[in-house]
Structure 1
Amino acid sequence: MSRYKFILSGGGTGGHIYPAIAIANELKVRYPDAEFLFVGAKDRMEMEKVPQAGYEIKGLWISGIQRKLTLKNLMFPLKLIRSMMEAGRIIRDFKPDLVIGTGGYASGPLLKVAASKGIKCVIQEQNSFPGITNKLLAPKVEKVFVAYDNLERFFPKEKILKTGNPVRQDLLGVVDKKAEGLALFELTPGKKTLLVIGGSLGARRINQLIESRIGFFKENNIQLIWQCGRFYYEEYKKYAGADVKVLAFLNEMDKAYGAADIIISRAGASSVSELCIVGKPVVFIPSPNVAEDHQTKNASAVTDKDGAVLIRETDLEEQFEKQFKDLIDSDDRMKELGANIGKLALPNATRHIVDEIEKLIKE
């Protein structure tokens, strides 16, 4: 058996990093002797998260273009040239059989250089509205793995394969973890449980909403698992009590999902993919502070199939209490939403992607 070499590049956010790690893990199971190298952007979170997952990573001096005129933008051409040169050195030294990009700043120069040297490349796009890096790379790669329909307007149709987004395998079967989850968080069985997730760093507007509605949840006999994020924990930990569990992180996400009857979440691509697999009623509050408003587009792809409730940040004051109460007061509606979002799940995404990668390396 050949000893294959793979470079994976993606980062900036967990949504780019964790799919790359999931793909590497599956490749490692199939090819235990394979060599792996990750390439990220210096000073971004991948430089910490990838080594924690057991892989080597090299950092490029690259960042995105800011929306307003800044010194960083003036530095961009220099950073790009330096990154292309460094990417060339990395590829020359490592000699990969295939390069996998999952989006983010570093994957642009790396895959561009790799493709120009005739090395096979693939990209995995998590969102319903692709990032600029993947849009620019698509003509140069062999395959584009996507999680949503109707992406032909961004990518060459013949290269698109709908696989879904790689997610943690421990999320399969969370319905069987309700008792375990309630026990872990010391919550009351038989009482409706709301799980609030705003990402590992937290979401200011969601935290403000929950803080202002503590009384509302109490009146409606709802207990909370509130992951407020590490940036906000000191500010909100004072609300912790028997019915309100305030956490900076959720280390056992499967049990948190298991305990939940209803979930409030941002609509990042990885979160949406996970929530489809979890199959419980969700209220999406998309972040408006992302490129091309892609979180709203991600959430809309679910609500268009009647699989969730979507409330924009600007509508929270006016709509939240009514929409939330209408939902929790109707067990039938909650079951319907849970069933509909579950139909959108693609739980075998990682295996599907690696099946296709195997075909390419064996050609």
Structure 2
Amino acid sequence: MGLRVLMAAGGTGGHVLPAVTVARWLKQQDPDCSCAAVSGRRGVAAQWWDPALGELTMVSVEPWPRRLQMVDPRYWWRQARGAVRLARLLRRYRPQVVVGFGGYVSGPAVLLAKLSGTPTVIHEQNVFPGRTTRLLVPWADRVTVSFEETRRYLPARARVTVTGNPVRADVEGRSRAAAFKALGLSPDLPVLLVMGGSQGSRALNTIAVEALALLAPKDRRRFQMFHLTGADDHAAVAGRYRALGVAGHAVAALPDMGPAYAAATMALVRAGATTLAELVATATPSVLVPYPYAGAHQMANAHWLSRQGGALIMDQRVLTPARFVEVVLPLLQDAARLEAMRAHLRRLATPGAAERVATAVLEVAHAN
């Protein structure tokens, strides 16, 4: 019977996609390996998880408590109910190792596993480790991180392995010509890829639409947009694009991001860790707009890539439609600068991250 692994990943693509990628690597090496997953009820795990890898369980787990929640019995009742479901899952599935990829559900899953004697591994995607990672480090048999710089934020005694951040295999190495055809784009015009993470960004959607409205019709025809809006804003953004005569497409979501990166001349995106890993893997220059309500995580990620020469940073508070026109669109037309950014990105690439994380998982599982 193959190895039983439980992947615990919060409800965003930034947590779930690395878990899926590592699980696929393990399954490819050993078809008898079973990689079950647990995630939060309100997230996107069901959209990304492959049932062929193993079962997916959705559990309601609340964020770490704020001061008012500390005295709210309803908060602790919900947490206790989620913990009971996780404990039952661990007893039923009997994993030989539990791997936490961050997010709210990762914390109690790893803690319960450790208390039951199950080996644990955690993977941190961001430069600056999240609260869950910082709390779990003393409980983890191995800590895998995406950046060498992350070591400085972790205790010296932590058993840290720098692995890089696993990127989906279908993102890399796609044909540019095939991508234009698949997405219905012209190979004769530069492409600006706009996306706000796995669930879209209303702020980026609004800024992009309002910026395009400032342009003269002839200027809107000098480039094309490929815009991932998220489900909530798709109809409004697509309608505005049609009214403005914007070349390109607005889509709610794109399960296969490979063609989008292959076709993109550059991207306007958030600075989540998985997005950064994909930008580097595909050598896509970018303007990063860190999500301002994610603590220091996205800003730290953005500063890292900017220092390496692969991206510019725009604070959301100053990214107005007029600033978009002044900064983003001229960069889209600056072929020499974009090529220099691509060269920096190629030097940063760390292929094999999924294998390195999976190797750490196997080492911990077999050592116990």
> Normalising by structure 1, what TM-score?
0.90
> Quick one: distance in 2 between partners of 1:326 and 1:131?
35
Unmatched 5+ stretches in structure 1: none
Contact 1:311–1:319 (CA under 8 A) maintained in structure 2: no
Aligned partner of 2:90 in structure 1 is 91
With over 3 angstroms needed to count, the CA separation of the structure-2 counterparts of 1:138 and 1:58, relative to structure 1, is same
SS of structure 1 residue aligned to 2:151: coil
1:285 to 289, 292, 299: 289
Aligned partner of 1:159 in structure 2 is 159
Contact 1:236–1:246 (CA under 8 A) maintained in structure 2: yes
> Quick one: distance in 1 between partners of 2:340 and 2:170?
24
Matched residue type, 2:311: A
Q: How does 1:45-64 map to 2 (within 5 A)?
A: 45-47=44-46, 49-50=48-49, 54-64=53-63
User: Percent identity between the aligned chains?
Assistant: 29
With over 3 angstroms needed to count, the CA separation of the structure-2 counterparts of 1:37 and 1:187, relative to structure 1, is closer
Contact 2:35–2:53 (CA under 8 A) maintained in structure 1: no
Matched residue type, 1:348: G
Structure 1 residue 91: deviation in Å?
2.2
Contact 2:225–2:246 (CA under 8 A) maintained in structure 1: no
Aligned partner of 1:190 in structure 2 is 188
Aligned partner of 1:267 in structure 2 is 271
Structure 1 residue 269: deviation in Å?
0.9
Aligned partner of 1:348 in structure 2 is 352
Task: Render the CA deviation track for 1:295-334: whole Å, top value 9, x for unaligned.
Answer: 1111111001121011111121264333224423432211
Query: In angstroms, what is the RMSD of aligned CA positions?
Result: 2.4
Contact 1:277–1:346 (CA under 8 A) maintained in structure 2: yes
With over 3 angstroms needed to count, the CA separation of the structure-2 counterparts of 1:178 and 1:36, relative to structure 1, is closer
> Quick one: distance in 2 between partners of 1:65 and 1:360?
27
With over 3 angstroms needed to count, the CA separation of the structure-2 counterparts of 1:235 and 1:10, relative to structure 1, is same
Aligned partner of 1:33 in structure 2 is 32
Aligned partner of 1:201 in structure 2 is 199
Structure 1 residue 146: deviation in Å?
0.9
Structure 1 residue 272: deviation in Å?
0.7
Q: Is 1:316 aligned with 2:319?
A: yes
Matched residue type, 1:351: E
Structure 1 residue 225: deviation in Å?
1.0
> Quick one: distance in 2 between partners of 1:73 and 1:278?
47
Aligned partner of 2:224 in structure 1 is 223
Q: Is 1:298 aligned with 2:301?
A: yes
> Quick one: distance in 2 between partners of 1:96 and 1:173?
34
Q: Is 1:23 aligned with 2:15?
A: no
> Quick one: distance in 1 between partners of 2:203 and 2:271?
14
With over 3 angstroms needed to count, the CA separation of the structure-2 counterparts of 1:67 and 1:315, relative to structure 1, is farther
Task: Render the CA deviation track for 1:61-96: whole Å, top value 9, x for unaligned.
Answer: 321146574699643322333333433333233222
Task: Render the CA deviation track for 1:11-70: whole Å, top value 9, x for unaligned.
Answer: 221111111111111111122112332222334332554365653123333211465746
SS of structure 1 residue aligned to 2:338: helix
> Quick one: distance in 2 between partners of 1:242 and 1:319?
19
Contact 1:267–1:295 (CA under 8 A) maintained in structure 2: yes
Contact 1:6–1:97 (CA under 8 A) maintained in structure 2: yes
> Quick one: distance in 2 between partners of 1:331 and 1:357?
42
1:243 to 222, 247, 272: 247
With over 3 angstroms needed to count, the CA separation of the structure-2 counterparts of 1:190 and 1:73, relative to structure 1, is farther
Task: Report the count of equivalent residues.
Answer: 359
Contact 1:80–1:109 (CA under 8 A) maintained in structure 2: no
Matched residue type, 2:228: Q
Contact 1:22–1:166 (CA under 8 A) maintained in structure 2: yes
Task: Render the CA deviation track for 1:95-116: whole Å, top value 9, x for unaligned.
Answer: 2211111111122112112112
> Quick one: distance in 1 between partners of 2:202 and 2:64?
24
SS of structure 2 residue aligned to 1:151: helix
Farther-moved stretch of structure 1 (353-362 vs 230-239): 353-362
